[in-house]
Amino acid sequence: MIEARRDPPLPRDAASLVVGAIAAQAIGGLVPQMSPLVIGGVMDGLSLSERDAGFVASIELLGLAVTAIAIAPVLPRFSYRQVGLVAVALALVAQAASIFSATWASLALLRGLAGAGEGALYAVSLCVVASHSKNPDKVYGYFQVIWALGSVPLFSFGGELTAAFAQRGIFALIAGATLVLAPLLLLIPDSRAKSGDRVAAVTAQASSPQLGVMTLVAIVLYLTVSAGVYAFSNPLGDRAGLDTSAVGYALTVASLVGLAGAGAAALFNVRWGRTIPISGFCVGFALVTLALCLSRDPKVYVVALVGSAVIYYFSIPYLFGLAAALDRSGRWAAAAGSAYLLGFAAGPLVGGAVIAAAGYAGLAAVSVAIAAAAWALTMIVIQRLSTTARTAVPDAAA
């Protein structure tokens, strides 16, 4: 499959843009990132089943997704900074209250409120990069580098806190991290995007809504199965003979090694197009999913978990970058964040339901099949974008 040749490298983005966007991304994505420990903590602290714990997690993740979807079309009209500050205030209040919640019903309500604030921040992080950055794919790669580095201490402390204090420990850690990162949201720019490269602008204008919908569906499908497997890392580790603390350390190692995937995405971005990297991570996801779900060997579990982290950190920048290529105003990128969060919200629920119905072997089969469907959709989008870009070059030169 042929893709259009890239233009020469563009100047670097302002550090304030990158740091502010990373802060919004980190706060908005803390709970999806820490979902295995959140689910494990809720199961232990409130004595819930896998399905019920997955439902509680999905409430918050659904709140993230719905909020991001709702504000994506209108977000470029508002101050990114003001939206971020209001959102982080809501998230902080809900996070702090969750620490002291002792019932399933109250916790579900509070996590839904937290999800609303986190969803707005997540949408801001993607939209501000797509509309202001000269190379969105590269900045999205930076996001994953920060996630890989930051997850090392988060999982290290999170595993211990969850083992000692169940859900209260992990919620306290998330609230503390949110409070530390909140001041960096002041670095988010308020100015509207300036017109960029003419070829990119023509390509974005020529991109049909159908391509956007196909991209969002592909992201939802891939993230649903990715989150469905990832959310049950703790129970999968238990099947392999590891306790919660050991799983936390395994996740720490996975995040550290996963830096290789994030670094590769930031370094290469779309130097060789998107077809090869997207195909590669879809195949890799299928292999590590089969290993995680079908093997009970602790060594195989750890190796597969590390591999899944590398693949995850490598894959997300390409999916977000594909959405950013559709519309330089940032609307499709914000919508891509909604799709990402929707997939993450559905993942624990779908994963728990599949496990209850067909066990972990069933989870492996369903995950591989859905990932293949997501790959097919992205290949169609890439091919049509490439055709549009080749047509747009003479028009831009005219």
| Model confidence pLDDT, tens digit, residues 327-374 | 766 778 878 877 887 887 788 888 888 998 999 999 999 999 999 999
Low-confidence ranges of the chain (pLDDT < 70): 1-13, 191-208, 269-270, 328-329, 389-398
* In the chain, where the domains are located: 15-397
pLDDT for 197 equals: 47
> Residue 123 corresponds to which tokens in the numbers above?
């949408």
Query: Tell me, what's the pLDDT at 87?
Result: 95
| pLDDT for position 305 | 92
pLDDT at 293: 92
Are 231 and 32 spatial neighbours (Cβ–Cβ below 8 Å)? no
Neighbours of 36 (CB within 10 A): 29
Q: Specify the pLDDT at position 69.
A: 81
Provide the 3-class DSSP secondary structure of residue 63.
helix
Phi-psi region of 269 (alpha: psi -120 to 50; beta: other; left: phi over 0): left
| Total Cβ atoms within 10 A of residue 330 | 27
Query: Over the stretch 152-195, which tens digit does the pLDDT of each residue have?
Result: 788 778 888 888 888 888 899 999 999 999 999 999 987 655 54
Q: What's the CATH superfamily of 15-397?
A: MFS general substrate transporter like domains (1.20.1250.20)
pLDDT for the residue numbered 390: 63
pTM score over 0.85: no
Question: Which pLDDT belongs to residue 203?
Answer: 46
Q: What is the per-residue pLDDT for 143?
A: 87
